[in-house]
């Protein structure tokens, strides 16, 4: 199927509520949306970048640049029968995983639509619904009352697992407060690389609270210190930022740096890389769940399909559209059912309709690449 045209859009989507991590607070999200056009079909992909290089070195500007000047020109006007062929065509680009992932997801969506099957079916999904969790930011002003009210609301909505963002000085208190009120809740925390090895006592103080895991407490590029920390605390360690590729997972397993994997297709460089990590996790029997980056419904649809595949052992950071945005880009929006699950779309490709008017309204830059 020959790719006739590639559209790149850089968007700004206002978040319904500010989201604070150890990096700081954001009020909106910037992402890049890729549309591949072929045979009157459109394949969609999302690069979950941000306005600033906090979580990863990529931003909306770097993704637009590398897609427009390097990746898209290598693909437009050509046909690809397999994702491997597509990836080979852009293999000369080093890094830029989120930009690469957006292109690969768009190809998978397009190919599934051409075959008349759902993305979930194309990926080998087995579930029709996926149980989901919610990731809660640090409350404004570190207000514990506000945090408890937010946890209450999400537990009432039916979320299966709650993740709290923590940073040095804001860890034991929020965890103790939530645990006291919800002794049975599936609970975990995420440090987003904000702690240092010197904070080991602060992290060890979380041991009594029966957390599922501590996610990425230490630096984004430090597998060795995570292995050391893992031997000093009882709470399991989950890695996010550090697992930048299948090779990084192999290294982390060899070093003993983790117990649990947060799988984000953007971070690891696409669908094929994500599936490779999923295979390794199944072979090695490592816990794994689907991470999120506050995606719009485009990225969410892809991740819901992926999370329906065998090997996801815990509810992920896949929440309903309303948790993020007043108005999602897709219809129908993703909603929680009575059991705290999202339904896996079964229509062709991502299985949800991208609303052109909403996409247009959120667009800040729009580039069209033609042969």
Residues identified as active-site: 165, 264
Using the rule CB under 6 A, which residue among 292, 297, 315, 345 binds ligand OSB? 292
- Chain CA centroid to CA 321, Å: 14
- Residues 229-288 within binding reach of ligand OSB (CB under 6 A): 240
Tell me the C-alpha distance between 4 and 46, whole Å: 19
Dihedral of alpha carbons 73, 76, 77, 81, sign: positive
CA atoms within 13 A on the CB side of 329: 28
In the list Mg ion, ligand OSB, none, the entry touching 171 (Cβ below 5 to 8 angstroms by class) is none
DSSP label at residue 268: H
> Should residue 317 be labelled a site residue for ligand OSB when binding is judged by CB under 6 A?
yes
Measured from each CB, the residue nearest to Mg ion is: 240
Tell me the C-alpha distance between 312 and 271, whole Å: 15
The values of phi and psi at residue 79, to 5°, are: -115, 145
Q: How many C-beta atoms surround the C-beta of residue 108 within 10 A?
A: 26
Cβ-based neighbours of 339, under 8 Å, separated by 6 or more? 129, 131, 158
Tell me the C-alpha distance between 135 and 317, whole Å: 6
Minimum separation from the CB atom of position 224 to Mg ion (A): 19
- Residues 200-229 within binding reach of Mg ion (CB under 5 A): 215
Using the rule CB under 6 A, which residue among 106, 293, 341, 352 binds ligand OSB? 293
Strand 24-38 and strand 41-47: the pairing is: antiparallel
> Should residue 20 be labelled a site residue for Mg ion when binding is judged by CB under 5 A?
no
For ligand OSB, the closer CB: 246 or 292:
292
The values of phi and psi at residue 328, to 5°, are: -70, 165
- Residues 9-68 within binding reach of ligand OSB (CB under 6 A): 55
Minimum separation from the CB atom of position 48 to ligand OSB (A): 7
Minimum separation from the CB atom of position 355 to Mg ion (A): 29
> Should residue 297 be labelled a site residue for ligand OSB when binding is judged by CB under 6 A?
no
For ligand OSB, the closer CB: 293 or 298:
293
For ligand OSB, the closer CB: 257 or 319:
319
Using the rule CB under 6 A, which residue among 10, 22, 135, 314 binds ligand OSB? 135
Measured from each CB, the residue nearest to ligand OSB is: 292
For ligand OSB, the closer CB: 193 or 345:
193
Cβ-based neighbours of 216, under 8 Å, separated by 6 or more? 190, 191, 192, 193, 238, 239, 240, 241, 242, 262
For ligand OSB, the closer CB: 291 or 311:
291
Q: Pick from 35, 19, 113: which is nearest to 75 by CA?
A: 35
For ligand OSB, the closer CB: 31 or 67:
31
Using the rule CB under 5 A, which residue among 104, 150, 190, 328 binds Mg ion? 190
> Should residue 240 be labelled a site residue for Mg ion when binding is judged by CB under 5 A?
yes
- Residues 65-124 within binding reach of ligand OSB (CB under 6 A): none
Residue found by looking up tokens 């999370």 in the block: 307
Q: Pick from 211, 216, 227, 213: which is nearest to 194 by CA?
A: 216
Minimum separation from the CB atom of position 292 to ligand OSB (A): 2
> Should residue 317 be labelled a site residue for Mg ion when binding is judged by CB under 5 A?
no
- For Mg ion, the binding residues (CB under 5 A) are 190, 215, 240
- For ligand OSB, the binding residues (CB under 6 A) are 55, 135, 190, 192, 240, 291-294, 317, 319
């Amino acid at each position: 199927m020959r790719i006739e045209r590639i559209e790149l859009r850089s968007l700004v989507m206002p978040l319904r509520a500010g989201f604070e991590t150890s990096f700081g607070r954001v009020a909106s999200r910037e992402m890049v949306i890729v549309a591949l056009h072929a045979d009157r079909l459109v394949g969609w992909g999302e690069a979950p970048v941000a306005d600033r290089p906090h979580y990863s070195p990529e931003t909306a500007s770097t993704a637009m640049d590398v897609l427009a000047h390097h990746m898209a020109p290598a693909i437009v006007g050509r046909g690809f029968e397999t994702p491997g062929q597509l990836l080979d065509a852009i293999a000369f680009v080093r890094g830029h995983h989120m930009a690469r992932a957006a292109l690969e997801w768009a190809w998978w969506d397009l190919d599934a639509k051409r075959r008349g099957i759902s993305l979930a079916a194309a990926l080998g999904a087995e579930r029709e619904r996926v149980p989901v969790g919610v990731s809660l930011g640090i409350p404004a002003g570190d207000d514990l009352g506000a945090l408890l009210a937010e946890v209450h609301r999400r537990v009432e909505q039916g979320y299966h697992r709650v993740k709290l963002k923590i940073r040095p000085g804001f860890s034991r208190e929020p965890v103790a407060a939530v645990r006291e009120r919800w002794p049975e809740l599936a609970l975990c925390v995420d440090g987003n690389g904000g702690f240092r090895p010197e904070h080991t006592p602060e992290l060890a103080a979380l041991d009594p609270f029966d957390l599922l895991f501590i996610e990425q407490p230490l630096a984004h590029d430090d597998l060795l210190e995570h292995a050391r920390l893992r031997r000093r605390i009882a709470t399991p360690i989950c890695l996010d930022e550090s697992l930048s590729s299948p090779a990084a997972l192999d290294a982390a397993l060899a070093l003993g740096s983790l117990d649990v994997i947060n799988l984000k297709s953007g971070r690891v460089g696409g669908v094929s890389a994500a599936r490779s990590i999923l295979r390794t996790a199944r072979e090695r029997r490592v816990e794994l769940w689907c991470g999120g980056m506050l995606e719009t419904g485009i990225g969410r649809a892809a991740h819901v399909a992926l999370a329906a595949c065998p090997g996801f052992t815990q509810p992920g950071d896949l929440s309903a559209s309303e948790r993020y945005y007043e108005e999602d880009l897709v219809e129908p929006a993703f909603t929680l059912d009575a059991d705290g699950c999202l339904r896996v779309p079964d229509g062709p490709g991502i299985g949800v309709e991208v609303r052109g008017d909403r996409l247009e309204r959120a667009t800040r830059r729009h580039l069209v690449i033609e042969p």
